Structure 1
Amino acid sequence: MRALGMIASATLFATIAGCVGAQARTLEGAAWSATTTRPKSTGIRILDGADGYHLLVTKGKSRCAANKPGTTPASTYLYFAIDGARKAAVRGAVYVAVEYYDDSLGGMVTLEYDSKDGDSIPARYRHAEARAGGWTLGAHAWRTAYFELRQPRFGGRQNLGADFRLSGTRLYIRSLRLTTKRPADWAKRSVMPRVHITPKVKIGSGGQLIIGGFDPARASDVPSMTAALEAMVPGLKSIGVTSHEGYVRWNLCEPEEGTYDWSVYDAFVRIYKAHGLKWVPFLIIGSAYSLPDWYYKKPGSQGYVCLEHGQESDVDSLWNPVLKKHVARFIKAFCERYRDQGVIETILLGVTGNYGEAIYVVTGNDWTADIHGPYHTHPGYWAGDPYAIESFRAWLIHKYGGFDRLRDAWGTGAGSIGEIRPFLKQNAPNERAWLDMCDWYIGSMTEWSRWWLQETRRHFPKGDIQLCTGGHAPSEHGSDFGMQCKIAAEIGGGVRITNEASDYASNYAVTRWVASAARQYGARYSFEPAGDVNAQGVVVRVYNATASGANGLHYYFPNIFGADANRASFEKWGSEFRQRKPVVEIAVYYPQTHVKLNGNDFLDYVRPLRERFDYEYMSDGQILDGGLKRVKALILMHGSISEAAVWSRIAEWVEAGGLLLYADGMGRLRSVEGDDSWHDRIVRPQGKGRSVVFKGLGNTGDFRDFAAKTLADAPELSAGTRAMVTEDGRDDRVFATLLEGNRLLWLNATDQPVARSGRILPPWSIVETPATGN
């Protein structure tokens, strides 16, 4: 084994050896290689730590360095340092030859080095300006890649004091060597070998499987990002990917006001056309990282101002009329450029917030500070800018018809509307005042999103448009997922919810409002993770999407390709992503008024309930829009305060024949004004329906037992729904959903096989069975 490795390495080194200038002789011969015992370092050392832990393994009959699995943070790089004496005399370009094992289909080895292009982070991690080879095409053979570094500084400014680092889908590095002479076979290695793609996954007809990643922050990133994406195309095709999602940053398209330069995204479009991929452009206009230099903190810009500190954020305010004009211009220009090129699968709208979701500023500084630096950001209420104050006053006058009625409703001592401005909860005159504040704040986000959707549809009359949203919908986020689905349906579009992880019950809890409302209003919907996903998370995300009836499923590139186990999991279960049609007759009341007044603790109640049966969410807005007509049973488990109009609709629904389950530990039902007469009308109904009362809180195992037993025996429900509750109804991390055709779709989210419906469900599996009803 050792001899094979030594022969291959000797051949490689002979290829790149040659005459070099005297100024760089100390660099020549700098090399690193793995051996059967320990690495051999000749002027180059491999480093260990941070996001670059490694271990020595045997691959293709040779010893090599590989990424160490299971580290936190994930070890996605291999770092190398050059001895000082070797790099001291470097003046010109340097070439790095790397021997790597081609182990998987799709991807490439990349190199970033410490350059003399300044002191910024991008300068310390500059991508090699040119590359020959480096593709991973599943050949299961050792290959050689060359990298050209045109501005080497090698100042040890990367993590661990490194001078350069390697990355790739999965790294196996046998050797590397530095020289100042361009390798003689550069041109030969620059030609990508042909590869035959055998599809391993076939998703359902009409579904969208979207991969995110490969996003340039600057124009200088485009060559490396497009090369990485193109190298990954065979792997994407093999698992059924339909489209690539890319962040379309305003600053990369309009470097000078009124002058558009589409070269960054034209480069990606050429790849889509060449390889038959579709595009999901994620339009970002207003988030800090999207702002052009000519606009950032210049006259006309206006960031959100927090009520907690009175400080301005770099994220531009949705109330700013100047921003609105720029958004309208940009949407028009973008659609005119790309609308008729035949590559767009969906236009995804990034309307505001830290990342581009339809929520206000909520998180800390991270990569979103990569253009203009750190900015003021935190969860809270961002309603202190002059345009927001003006909007709040106008909204109040419109609602109340005058200041006198407002003053009476609030019990405020203010003398005029000019004394009213947005406030925090502790400063609210009463509950009605705080609800008005929340309704305006949330409603402003809804109306801003509606305008974006309408404006985009005006210039993109045919094709899918989706609104990007996220979080878990506390009032400070400003998100009403139900209304966001409603306004998306108005233009024939949809909603992308971006909050999943790897636990099914948690994913269900945070995506269910979008799924429920989208089905009610007729919107499309798709699911996206908020960050990392493990191998088990890959399969539970497939289940959540197909069991919810979602049309789109998004993964970031590392979610599937960052670990062998993740990729294997998707190859095994990805074909289960089909556009199934769930049948959901049970709903849980989503207490919007309670959430506004008390915070969103509701999810802690519903998450464990999913262990027992499938259900919809039914929010105040959905109820007022007739949503109760879609369900046969409604569960009140948390949140005893709501608007009188909502209680009235619920009372009418029960009286007309609905089945209500009520946990009396939540307290008597009352309106915002304190009227609790609704309680008896709902809990002790007259008419065709009935209410069943549980003595206790709704977040207990006893309540879940009560709900499952009551629903399993309920004549109001179909035989299929009763079967779903009966066969699922226990806390065991095995979940069922009823589908059209009287079928059950199962998820076994455990490490052991289990028996259900006469079938054995393997560990971490998705299985469809008949529903045996009673």
Structure 2
Amino acid sequence: MTGRNRISCPLVLFVMSTAFILAAPLSHGESLAAWRMTADGPAGDGITILDGADGCFTPARRAGLPCAAFREDAQPAAAYMYFSVDPARKAGLAGPVWLEVEYFDASPGGAVTVEYDSAGDGSVPAPYRPAEDQWGGMMRGSERWRRAVYELRAPRFGNGQNLGADFRLGYARLYVRSVTLAAAPPADCGALNEASSTRLVRRARAGSDKRVILGGYDPDSARSAGQMVRLLEANAPVMKSVGITSHEGYVRWNLCEPEPGVYDWSIYDKYVELYKRHGLKWVPFLIVGSAYSLPEWFYKKEGFQGYVCLEHGEESDVASLWSPALRGHLARFIQAFCEHYRDTGVIDSILLGITGNYGEAIYIASGNDWTAGVYGDYHTHGGFWAGDPFAVADFRRVMGEKYPGIAELNAAWGSSYGGFGEIAPFLRKDAPNDRAWLDFVDWYIASMNDYTRFWLENVRKHYGGPVEICTGGHAPAEHGADFGMQCKLAAEFGGGVRITNEASDYKANFSLTRWVASAGWQYGAYFSFEPAGEVRPEGVLPRIYNATVSNARGLHYYSPNLFAQEKALDNWVRWASLFRNRRPKVEIAVYYPQTHIKLTENKFLGHVQHLRDCFDFKYLSDGQIADGGLEDTRALVMLWGNVAEKETWAAVTDWVRRGGLVLYADGIGRLRTVEGDESPHDALFGPGAALGRGRAARFAGENDGGAYRRFLCDTLAAAPELSRATRRMVAEDGREDGVFVSLTGSRALLWLNTTGKPARRAGRAVPEGAVVVSGL
């Protein structure tokens, strides 16, 4: 649930025969090798099309002509067409060579890309090097056969790509009739870039106060920047026509600071000029510290300190947030970036890529993937990353500030340390007791918040516009993320939070994003939602629904999420206007058991997903409760987790006595403090509990079944503590059936139907795959 995902593919599965001879003349006079799809199948003259993994194809016809197309039922999904060159044709081959592709221009937006197995830089081969230049290949939606030419300057063709390929073609919906390798470009290649008519795309617009952000087209080197800009240029008109307001681009430290203190902004200047030409805004995603962002002069050089895991004691390539050297470089980079770009007029919001594998306000959380593309595989996994010398020193400092002396720490932890110099971060299995573990986890999370504050402070010194913290994951202790406090931090600096963990299922998306939404409402931070990777066409509308009923400021999609399939784009065009400013009215909160999660694991989300199918609600964590989050809450539901600090239980009890309603199931377990005091339970649910003007509704049964959820629905639908509108919202839904409801304003119910069949709610028909508004 973090960062971008790329498919890791197995070895070659199947190779199509090349025994046929080409039946049509080639466009090049100096052909080296060629391939064509004929009515009888693939015909190769020195080039073979490969089939398997993420390159599964099938024969097809477009505009009456035979071609190769992606196989729709392939798993993993087909994303490329792979080709190999016969050994006899590439013997002694030296670049440059030119690749001509005949493709069908089926849909508007984007371009056909070519990556080839190259000689690389020096002795290191680069199997997926983008073509250095291209003519044509832009998708205009003309529904005609077109040609594109690509320059490959340093071909190695050592079968280094997936399936043993030498080059591959990429586009969301790819139809290819022929490919030809030549020693010289065709005479007419310059004409291939001439403007051609673009098929009209129905216009779509979200609300005027909303941001719709498209991600993609990011260079991984200066070499690939030109191609990425061309691809974005090709897609910009379509982006504008369907209501995309901004493009998000990764701004990598290593692409901007080739020498210490020497900045080269030429790569991103090209993007800025593009934004100005097309009237797009920019969301620069600043990446400083992740492995793929490190300049060569800093990577494992003097001053570098990577995170060190507690599980193995090994160092990662991701720079540690406790490193003083990193903070110095970060402050200077932020200043230089802001001074260069803040007056360009194109910045929508600056997105802060705090740390971790991808650039989020969480610690290292995944294995090796595309982030290893610069320096190779590195030590990385989910776990705790607090073992470097700077982290150890900081942990000792903070514990020394919390406890007056080592005797007090030992008394709290049940330990026998001789001094603060003996303590060091530990894993859960090695923690002396629960209090010791919470002290460690609280410090771990606070360290992330402190480093995030450092980012915000430095941005605000040089830039006064919108800024967002990028965060992700599902908030287990090892991620070090407290979404509530991240929203509080953002609000302090007039900023917001981007949460990057959505997919296609509404219940799952709600469970993962609602903490950010709830805390954003409470503290006054704006927020936006982003997918972690793939979004299926049927997931486009649920993401819009989640954003609009949460009143998110922004909604992010990666380019393939909308443009990879016609159905996805159709769904966006149909429903984009639903994403507009709304006033969520959410009086019911579900307790987010923050302390319990730290002590155990995060099993909370599964409970939430079932209940969301019954009615809408917000989250309240321990931190939010401490900051007064109960004041605009009328009912508090407990789903899972029975351990909290005494201050949390005291705040809940006080709120109930002042008129609040708390709902609880015996299966949760008796409420207690970290030290085991169960008096908070008796204060709320014991015989003769003094509840003042409030009440406690207790269910005598398990907390994880439909019976408890029915009890909650029945109790809340009749609860006088709630407004009439909220009671109606619960009563009109109140069932687990794939139809969801939210209350916006005081009189509007928004219904989402994910069942695949028509439904009827509050006197209105709710078609399948649709959103309907009903009044109260």
| TM-score of the superposed pair, with normalisation by structure 1 | 0.95
Distance 2:751 2:301 in 1: 55
> For structure 2, which runs of at least 5 residues remain unmatched after alignment?
1-21
Distance 2:197 2:564 in 1: 24
1:614-629 to 2 correspondences below 5 Å: 614-629=616-631
Q: Is the 8 A contact 2:142 2:197 kept in 1?
A: no
Distance 1:397 1:381 in 2: 21
Q: Is the 8 A contact 2:750 2:774 kept in 1?
A: yes
Please name the residue that 1:219 is paired with: 222
Deviation at 1:707?
A: 0.3
Deviation at 1:122?
A: 6.8
Q: Is the 8 A contact 1:197 1:237 kept in 2?
A: no
Which amino acid in structure 1 is aligned with residue 765 of structure 2?
I
Please name the residue that 2:364 is paired with: 361
Please name the residue that 1:159 is paired with: 162
Distance 2:128 2:626 in 1: 54
| Aligned-partner SS, 2:586 | coil
Deviation at 1:442?
A: 0.8
Query: Are 1:254 and 2:257 counterparts?
Result: yes
Query: Are 1:747 and 2:749 counterparts?
Result: no
Q: Is the 8 A contact 1:465 1:494 kept in 2?
A: yes
Q: Is the 8 A contact 2:201 2:242 kept in 1?
A: no
The equivalent position to 2:176 in structure 1, one of 140, 150, 173, is 173
| Aligned-partner SS, 2:716 | helix
Moved more, 372-381 or 35-44: 35-44
1:117-266 to 2 correspondences below 5 Å: 117=120, 123-193=126-196, 195=198, 198-266=201-269
Query: Are 1:435 and 2:438 counterparts?
Result: yes
Query: Are 1:706 and 2:708 counterparts?
Result: no
Q: Is the 8 A contact 1:214 1:229 kept in 2?
A: yes
Deviation at 1:333?
A: 0.5
Q: Is the 8 A contact 1:549 1:581 kept in 2?
A: yes
| Aligned-partner SS, 2:126 | helix
Distance 1:183 1:368 in 2: 37
| Aligned-partner SS, 1:642 | coil
Deviation at 1:102?
A: 1.0
Deviation at 1:86?
A: 2.8
1:380-419 to 2 correspondences below 5 Å: 380-419=383-422
Q: Cα–Cα, structure 1 residues 752 and 42, in superposed 2: closer, same or farther, change >3 Å? A: same
Deviation at 1:142?
A: 1.4
Query: Are 1:342 and 2:349 counterparts?
Result: no
| Aligned-partner SS, 2:190 | helix
Please name the residue that 1:695 is paired with: 700
Deviation at 1:194?
A: 5.4
1:659-674 to 2 correspondences below 5 Å: 659-674=661-676
1:466-485 to 2 correspondences below 5 Å: 466-485=468-487
1:99-118 to 2 correspondences below 5 Å: 99-117=102-120
Deviation at 1:92?
A: 4.1
Distance 1:248 1:650 in 2: 45
Q: Cα–Cα, structure 1 residues 541 and 9, in superposed 2: closer, same or farther, change >3 Å? A: farther
Q: Is the 8 A contact 2:70 2:78 kept in 1?
A: yes
Please name the residue that 2:575 is paired with: 573
The equivalent position to 2:72 in structure 1, one of 69, 90, 105, is 69
Q: Is the 8 A contact 1:199 1:237 kept in 2?
A: no
Please name the residue that 2:725 is paired with: 720
| Aligned-partner SS, 1:603 | helix
The equivalent position to 2:592 in structure 1, one of 590, 593, 600, is 590
Distance 1:605 1:337 in 2: 48
Q: Is the 8 A contact 1:637 1:697 kept in 2?
A: no
| Aligned-partner SS, 1:423 | coil
Which amino acid in structure 1 is aligned with residue 378 of structure 2?
Y
Q: Cα–Cα, structure 1 residues 692 and 92, in superposed 2: closer, same or farther, change >3 Å? A: closer
Q: Is the 8 A contact 1:754 1:761 kept in 2?
A: yes
Distance 2:157 2:433 in 1: 63
| Aligned-partner SS, 2:118 | coil
The equivalent position to 1:371 in structure 2, one of 364, 369, 374, is 374
Deviation at 1:424?
A: 1.3
> For structure 1, which runs of at least 5 residues remain unmatched after alignment?
1-7, 21-26
| Aligned-partner SS, 2:677 | coil
Q: Once the two structures are superposed, what CA deviation does each residue of 1:121-143 show, in whole Å capped at 9, x if it has no partner?
A: 87222222221111111111111
Deviation at 1:515?
A: 0.5
1:267-282 to 2 correspondences below 5 Å: 267-282=270-285
Distance 1:311 1:95 in 2: 46
Which amino acid in structure 2 is aligned with residue 160 of structure 1?
L
The equivalent position to 1:314 in structure 2, one of 317, 323, 347, is 317
| TM-score of the superposed pair, with normalisation by structure 2 | 0.94
Q: Cα–Cα, structure 1 residues 316 and 92, in superposed 2: closer, same or farther, change >3 Å? A: closer
Over the matched positions of the two proteins, sequence identity in percent amounts to 55
Q: Cα–Cα, structure 1 residues 593 and 438, in superposed 2: closer, same or farther, change >3 Å? A: same
Distance 1:665 1:115 in 2: 61
Q: Cα–Cα, structure 1 residues 303 and 9, in superposed 2: closer, same or farther, change >3 Å? A: same
Which amino acid in structure 1 is aligned with residue 761 of structure 2?
R
Which amino acid in structure 2 is aligned with residue 755 of structure 1?
R
| Aligned-partner SS, 1:570 | helix
Tell me how many residue pairs correspond in the alignment.
Answer: 752
Please name the residue that 1:492 is paired with: 494
| Aligned-partner SS, 2:499 | strand
Q: Is the 8 A contact 1:508 1:544 kept in 2?
A: yes
Deviation at 1:148?
A: 2.0
Moved more, 179-188 or 489-498: 179-188
| Aligned-partner SS, 1:645 | helix
Please name the residue that 1:51 is paired with: 54
Deviation at 1:557?
A: 1.1
Which amino acid in structure 2 is aligned with residue 222 of structure 1?
A
Distance 1:625 1:584 in 2: 18
Moved more, 171-180 or 470-479: 171-180
Which amino acid in structure 2 is aligned with residue 244 of structure 1?
H
Deviation at 1:222?
A: 0.5
Which amino acid in structure 2 is aligned with residue 136 of structure 1?
M
Query: Are 1:561 and 2:558 counterparts?
Result: no
| Aligned-partner SS, 1:559 | helix
Distance 1:712 1:445 in 2: 41
Deviation at 1:119?
A: 8.6
Q: Once the two structures are superposed, what CA deviation does each residue of 1:34-77 show, in whole Å capped at 9, x if it has no partner?
A: 22332332222211112111111221222211112232222111
Which amino acid in structure 2 is aligned with residue 153 of structure 1?
R
Deviation at 1:271?
A: 1.1
| Aligned-partner SS, 1:707 | helix
Which amino acid in structure 1 is aligned with residue 184 of structure 2?
K
| Aligned-partner SS, 1:472 | coil
Q: Cα–Cα, structure 1 residues 482 and 92, in superposed 2: closer, same or farther, change >3 Å? A: closer
Please name the residue that 1:759 is paired with: 764
Which amino acid in structure 2 is aligned with residue 709 of structure 1?
D
Deviation at 1:199?
A: 4.6
Q: Once the two structures are superposed, what CA deviation does each residue of 1:237-261 show, in whole Å capped at 9, x if it has no partner?
A: 1221111111111111111111111
Distance 2:158 2:341 in 1: 43
Please name the residue that 1:733 is paired with: 738
Distance 1:549 1:474 in 2: 26
Deviation at 1:211?
A: 0.8
Q: Once the two structures are superposed, what CA deviation does each residue of 1:564-620 show, in whole Å capped at 9, x if it has no partner?
A: 222222222222122222110000111111011111111121111111110110000
Which amino acid in structure 2 is aligned with residue 312 of structure 1?
E
Distance 1:572 1:247 in 2: 29
Q: Is the 8 A contact 2:504 2:540 kept in 1?
A: yes
Distance 1:434 1:262 in 2: 45
